[in-house]
Amino acid sequence: MAADPPGGRTRRTVGWWRRKSLRFRLSAVASAVFALALFVAAYVMIGVLGQALLTTIDDAIYQRARDTVSLADAGRLPDEMTTPDGTLLQVIDGAGRITHATTGTDRLVPLLDAGERATAVARGSARFVNGEPYGIPHVLRVRVLSADRGQTVIAARPFGEVETSIRTAGHVLVVGTPLLLVLLAGASWVIVGRTLRPIAALRRGADEITDTARSRRLPVPEARDEVHSLATTLNDMLARLERADARQRALVSDAAHELRSPLASIRLQLEVALGHPEGQEWRETAEGVLEDTMRLARLAEDLLALARLDERGGVPGRREPVELDQLIPQTAERYGEAVAVRIAGRSAERRTEPEPGTEAGAGTGTGTGQPGNGPIVVTGDALDLGRVLVNLVDNALRHTTTRVVVELRAEGADAVLTVTDDGPGIPEADRERVFDRFTRLDSARSRDEGGAGLGLAIVRETVNAHGGAVHLEDASPGLRAVVRLPLS
């Protein structure tokens, strides 16, 4: 069998772990943390318990040794020494003989020889001594103190009771710790499951949202936690997607409706021409078909412009300085005398002068003169801003009776562009509605004036993308479109 490549087993382990559910992984990690904490706690507890018991024994044998030293110094040691707590005592004179001892203690051999007793006295602390050579089947904890006249007192106590207590505590921990760990792991599983329940509800709610249940929303938990914020954010996203989907469906539906009329007209004209070729005016038919084809071309261009605006997400295609006082006259040149352009500088106005033999102010070309105080510059896309003016002028020309006036001026921190006609105007209640896509007033539809209802929608979205605003207002008579763009 081929050996695993380096890291292969690790990758399989990581992959297995990642395939497990979030509940399992959280519960497993929590259980591992609990196990480590319980192990450390048990280790510390055993250590603290042993140290506490050892300190207790050291204090007890020290106290017995001090009492015995006091009696030895006073010469009042009894012949038969006893201790209520089982402490073993030996009193050794300067010659190394045991003069007094408790019952059960060797009276011939000291627990420590002379050198060990001297070392123990110098250290001033207890030590462990094996009791088997002295007939005591336990490890002893021994403390040595010196008395007057060269006497030495040895106090000892079996350490077996401490070992028994520590062993008992260890057995309890060995049995109880796994049980406690199982209990904590089960509690973690339940708590994690309850914590993830709102997420499971979100998943079920998302699974129930289909094309036929687009308006449904995800359940929002009552707790004001991260899951509540997630559910709220997802519901907001669903609302935006629903609006975008509705807008797209409306766009497709309206576009299909707008395409139907010119296509039906083209089909009808061609069918009539082919059905009666002998009496057909082919030039007239070609002109009619061309007119409908131009309508289709304008609609396609408008749809493409809206698609590009939507694709860019409300930002201009380019960001570059645009001199409006140069762009506007150049764009308006295509309309000839039908449009009058008036451009005012920051302090002085400049007007288009009428040509000799024409009526003043009646739409006399697009001369620009000189600005009063520098150019009017904004930041954005010159092509998009030119389309704004074209759409506004085309819309005004379809309704005006005599002329269209385009004015540009700097006002504070804004460049203000106005396009004014003297037509019938628009009722105030409809002035916002006409900025919606494929919105045309009934009078415009009845006259079939060639617009598809996209021009003003393109104007508003383009102006908004450039950080500006556009609105319609009464011109008495006529209508005025006002565009505000921030100056560079």
Give the domains, in start order, of the chain with CATH numbers.
Answer: 17-208 (no CATH), 210-313 (1.10.287.130), 317-354+362-486 (3.30.565.10)
pLDDT of residue 482: 93
Band of pLDDT at residue 1, cut at 50, 70 and 90: very low
pLDDT digit string, tens, across residues 163-173: 888 888 888 88
Band of pLDDT at residue 373, cut at 50, 70 and 90: low
pTM above 0.75, yes or no: no
Strands 339-344 and 349-351: antiparallel
How distant, in Å, are the alpha carbons of 377, 467, 470 from that of 314? 21, 9, 15
On the 0-12 / 13-18 / 19+ scale of CB atoms within 10 A, 265 is middle
Q: Are 81 and 69 in contact (CB under 8 A)?
A: no
Q: Strand order in 139-146's β-sheet?
A: 98-101, 88-92, 152-158, 139-146, 127-130
Range from 92-101, 311-320, 406-415, 433-442 carrying the lowest mean pLDDT: 433-442
Strands 88-92 and 98-101: antiparallel
Phi and psi dihedrals of 426, rounded to 5? -130, 135
Distance CA 13, CA 32 (A): 17
Q: Are 280 and 253 in contact (CB under 8 A)?
A: no
Would you say residue 404 has pLDDT above 80? yes
Consecutive H or E run containing 282? helix 282-312
Distance CA 379, CA 332 (A): 20
pLDDT digit string, tens, across residues 316-371: 778 889 999 899 898 888 888 888 888 885 333 334 444 443 343 334 344 443 44
